[in-house]
Amino acid sequence: MPKTNHRVTSIAATLLLLAMASISGCSDSISKNSGIVPASPANSSNPASPSNSPTSTPKLDNSPDNQANQAVGETVKPPETTSKLNNNSANNQANSAATPQIRFVPDAALSPQLVVEQGGKTSTFNAQDVQVEMMGSVDCEKMVQVDRQSLSGNNFMRDRLSIDPQTGNIAIGVIFQYCALIQESAIVLLQPQATGGYQTSLLQVPGFKALPTARATYPLGYIKSLRYNNGELLVTHGGAADAEAEIVFRDGKFVSCNITTPGEGSGNLCLESVP
């Protein structure tokens, strides 16, 4: 009987070992197919997670100067303003000081008095002091055209003024008379002098006959625009209709006249010049 118990015990022990081996193999099979990922070793690296490295810092600028600044813990500063801007500012101030200050009395679209201030000096011009020999103009009292008549300025045209940035010359339109929807005007040139002040002259417009004096001109119609461009003065004028012409002056002298908008009365806007 004791021998039988010993055999039973031996068989039971053998069965127990076989059961344990079977359980261990099943566990390995489950761990390989269950989708459970085992933990990575402690010394493994994960390139998709840069935050695992406590010293990593995102870089916006990989330039050598910026890397040096980051190495010493300095803040990267934007580039300082160059001196070119400062030079331009100084030039602008100088140009502003050199630009004449112009005002009209009264302060209206048409004014009989023009005041120019520059370099601490003031020059005053009265429209009535501008006298011309108007050729081929209209006698407003008799309403007839005359070959020649002496006229004095009536008003300065404040919105028909331009300053030549190269020379400082001031060109301004002057109205001499207006009657029966006919406006007759001319352009006066103010030239700055080295001793201060301005010298006035008339920009002469040629016509059918030769101009007898430096104070003679054929009349302009309604001056629509007046501006300097690369040393040339461009003047657009017209009549009561829509016709327009552009007259070009250079160095105070007549250069050309061209019809820019044909229409009624355009033949009188560019008169044939007789030397």
Q: What is the pLDDT of residue 268?
A: 83
* Higher-scoring residue by pLDDT: 46, 195: 195
- Domain limits of the chain? 100-268
The full length of the chain comes to 275
Contact predicate 249/227, CB 8 Å:
no
CA distances from 204 to 135, 167, 217, 275 (A): 11, 19, 5, 13
What does the pLDDT look like over 88-125, one tens digit per residue? 444 444 444 468 999 999 999 899 999 999 888 999 99
Q: Does the structure show a pLDDT above 70 at 162?
A: yes
Closest listed residue to residue 134, CA positions, set 196, 192, 176: 176
Q: Kindly report the backbone phi and psi dihedral angles of residue 133, in degrees, each rounded to the nearest multiple of 5, phi listed first.
A: -100, 100
Residue 7 pLDDT > 60, yes or no?
no
Residue 270 above 60 pLDDT?
Answer: yes
At 48-65, the pLDDT tens digits run 333 343 443 333 344 444
pTM metric for this prediction: 0.64
Which of the pair, 55 or 150, is modelled with greater confidence? 150
Task: Print the SS3 string covering the chain.
Answer: CHHHHHHHHHHHHHHHHHHHHHHHHHHHHHHHHCCCCCCCCCCCCCCCCHHHCCCCCCCCCCCHHHHHHHHCCCCCCCCCCCHHHHHHHHHHHHHHHHCCEEEEECCCCEECEEEEEECCEEEEEEHHHCEEEEEEEEECCCCEEEEEEEEECCEEEEEEEEECCCCCCEEEEEEEEEECCEEEEEEEEEEECCCCCEEEEEECCCCCCCCCCCCEECCECEEEEEEEECCEEEEEEECCCCCEEEEEEECCEEEEEEEEECCCCHHHCCCCCCC
